[in-house]
């Protein structure tokens, strides 16, 4: 930006009034390097239209969800001639919705009716924790449903007899697996597609950012299409196997695994249930016990090997 302002000039109070920012905010932006210092004219500091434009850019980027640190990097790219429009277009493609679903609102009473008519505060808390529901600020009995389709699936499963706690546990497990798939897809596309745009340790040029945004738009549906196709293949394969196993009269049924009751302190059970959920508590305890048994077996074998070495080395 030029040191000498051209066109209109403003005092800081006038700049604050026109931009909608406070005087304190303008000075804070200057201290953080987001806004150039004013030009000294006589005994007064004056600002130009370029300062007003910069304040409006910052406000627009804040509305888009950018942090001040990210805004500073973007504006530095703009000031060095790398272009801001393409970078913002690329960010908009990445930050934009990855689904056509639109969120809806639902009241607590509607939730109760949809899930069997009995209030369940624990299930609502689980849904909020998982992001299936979002509390509307200032409204204790009103929620936003980011994915109506996900809530509908939960309602169908519950109507079919699946407990809400089991649905929440399944969603936690499924989410971890899906996040792994998403991470691998991003690593794959970054390595083979986007490395040439984002692997240079500096913001992309305007042309590169525009081209990368176009690629994101093209590749965005591919992950979901791939997962849909693979899930359909796997469901058909394993559902067919399971049905055949249950219908095949020649195959003797597998004997049920023997079990026995074990007395544990109540505090221990509560701690385990809090950690993995009530539906997984017994499985967790069995796995922990099995791991301990294997660990002790390994320790014994190692000790035996050391004892054998001592015998071999004795005169």
- Reduced to 3 states (helix: H, G, I; strand: E, B; else coil), residue 145 is strand
Q: What is the pLDDT of residue 1?
A: 44
The C-alpha atoms of residue 303 and residue 281 are separated, in whole angstroms, by 33
Count of CA atoms in the C-beta half-sphere (13 A) of 179? 6
47 close to 10: Cβ distance less than 8 angstroms? yes
Q: What is the pTM of this model?
A: 0.52
d(CA 270, CA 158): 25
Q: What is the pLDDT of residue 4?
A: 45
80 in Cβ contact with 73 (< 8 Å): no
CB-CB neighbours of 125 under 10 Å: 12
CA 295 to chain centre: 36
**The pLDDT value given to residue 281:** 78
Reduced 3-state DSSP string for 19-44: HCCCHHHHHHHHHCCCCCCCEEECCE
**Residue 125's pLDDT is what?**
94
Question: Where does residue 81 rank: exposed (0-12), middle (13-18), buried (19+ CB within 10 A)?
Answer: exposed
Confidence (pLDDT) at 2:
46
Count CB-CB contacts under 10 A for residue 292: 10
pLDDT in tens, the chain (315 residues): 444 445 578 899 999 998 989 999 999 999 988 898 898 888 888 998 889 888 988 888 888 777 888 788 777 766 665 555 666 666 666 666 677 788 899 999 999 999 989 889 999 999 999 999 999 888 899 999 999 999 999 999 999 999 999 999 999 999 989 988 888 888 888 888 777 776 555 556 667 777 887 888 788 888 888 889 999 999 999 998 888 887 875 555 556 566 666 677 767 877 877 787 777 777 888 888 888 777 777 777 766 655 555 545 555
How many DSSP H helices and E strands does the chain contain?
13, 6
User: What are the structure tokens assigned to 265, written together?
Assistant: 């302190």
């Amino acid at each position: 930006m030029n040191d000498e302002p051209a066109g209109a000039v403003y005092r800081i109070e006038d700049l604050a009034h026109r931009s909608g920012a406070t005087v304190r905010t303008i000075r804070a932006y200057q201290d953080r390097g987001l806004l150039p210092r004013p030009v000294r004219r006589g005994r007064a500091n004056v600002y130009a239209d370029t300062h007003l434009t910069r304040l409006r850019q910052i406000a627009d980027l804040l509305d888009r969800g950018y942090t001040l640190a990210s805004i500073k990097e973007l504006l530095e790219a703009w000031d060095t001639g790398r272009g801001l429009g393409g970078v913002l277009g690329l960010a908009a493609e990445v930050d934009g919705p990855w689904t056509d679903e639109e969120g809806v609102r639902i009241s607590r009473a509607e939730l109760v009716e949809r899930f069997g008519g009995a209030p369940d505060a624990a299930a609502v808390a689980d849904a909020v924790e998982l992001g299936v529901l979002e509390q509307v600020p200032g409204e204790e009995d009103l929620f936003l449903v980011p994915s109506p389709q996900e809530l509908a699936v939960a309602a169908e499963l519950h109507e079919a007899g699946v407990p809400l706690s089991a649905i929440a546990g399944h969603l936690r497990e499924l989410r971890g697996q899906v996040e792994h798939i998403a991470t691998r897809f991003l690593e794959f596309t970054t390595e083979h597609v986007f490395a040439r745009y984002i692997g240079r340790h500096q913001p992309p040029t305007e042309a590169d950012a525009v081209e990368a945004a176009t690629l994101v738009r093209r590749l965005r549906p591919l992950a979901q299409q791939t997962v849909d196709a693979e899930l359909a293949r796997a469901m058909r394969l394993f559902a067919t196997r399971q049905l055949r196993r249950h219908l095949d009269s020649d195959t003797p049924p597998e004997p049920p695994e023997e079990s026995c009751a074990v007395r544990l302190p109540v505090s221990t059970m509560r701690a385990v249930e809090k950690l993995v959920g009530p539906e997984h508590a017994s499985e967790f305890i069995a796995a922990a016990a099995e791991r301990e048994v294997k660990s002790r077996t390994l320790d014994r074998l190692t000790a035996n090997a050391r004892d054998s070495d001592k015998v071999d080395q004795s005169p």
